Amino acid sequence: MHCVALDCIEATGHPNVRATHNTTFEVTRETELGKKGTCIIAVSANKAASDLDEELKKSLEAGAKLKIIVRTAELSDVVWGNGSADLRFSNSTSMVFRKSSFIDDRTVCINCDKSASDIDKRIVSALRSPTTRMSMELESFI
């Protein structure tokens, strides 16, 4: 496998980050987060699904593997997922990474090996602070 495209998303934590969802995790441009958003791991993102790098989107539409590196200042976790020809990348508010094969306009990849509840608990704890900065590196591989 070799990397064919990459992108980076910046976001921040929020006191209501719970990260307990068992099938997805989400990053949103929204600045506020209610207590029902159990899949959201970060807010105030600089990008949503529609803003991702065009080469990255093309590679995922062609079925590339996606490596997602979630980073805070001192911690990181890696999630792997798959692209699909059915991906739309049209949502301008958020992006969702799914363990299932369900696809909507927010879906960036499917069949992930982790959801919000699987992300390193130390990262989740750090993301409960609004001063925590998070970056997500997205790297597609064929």
Tens digit of pLDDT for each residue in 16-42? 999 999 999 999 999 999 989 999 999
Task: Give tens-digit pLDDT for 41-82.
Answer: 999 999 999 999 999 999 999 999 999 999 999 999 999 999
Upper half-sphere CA count for residue 136 (Cβ side, 13 Å):
32
- The domain in which residue 53 lies consists of 3-141
Bridge partners, residue 9, by sequence: 136
Identify the pLDDT of residue 1.
87
3-state helix, strand, coil in the chain (%, to 5): 15, 35, 50
Structural domains in the chain (count): 1
The CATH number that applies at residue 91 is 2.60.120.630
Neighbours of 93 (CB within 10 A): 14
